[in-house]
Amino acid sequence: LEGPCYISPAPNGGFVVSEECRDVKVFTSSRKLLCSLSSKYGHRFGNPTGVCVDVEGSILVADEQRRTVHLFPEHGAPVCLVSAGLRRPIGVACSSFGHLFVADAGENCVKVFK
């Protein structure tokens, strides 16, 4: 890893790690690299920060530089969930009720999306 920043457990016992100004890597429960999101999806990150995994196993990533939150499904193309209204997203979490929580350090608040 190069500059690991944020980490989240994955449903399969593995985990997801964001690297400062680089990429997001997915590891298996035996700590072996499963994939790089930029390689798997052809996605370019600005500065990936917060990461989390939803109940369906999709990975959500806050990108501080691009001011977005993207969802990376296990199968299919990435989906931009939030593309406006964020100044400096650095943390993300999802609830089992379908809410997305984004810590926005640029506005010193937590924003909630459904």
Q: Which CATH class is domain 4-113?
A: mainly beta
Distance (Å, whole) CA 95 – CA 111:
13
Task: Give the other-Cβ count within 10 Å of 77's Cβ.
Answer: 10
Separation CA 73–CA 18 (nearest Å)? 16
pTM above the 0.85 mark?
yes
What sign does the CA torsion over 99, 39, 78, 68 have? Answer: positive
pLDDT digit of tens for each residue in the chain (114 aa)?
999 999 999 988 999 999 998 999 999 999 999 999 999 999 999 999 999 999 899 999 999 999 999 999 989 999 999 999 999 999 999 998 889 999 999 999 999 999
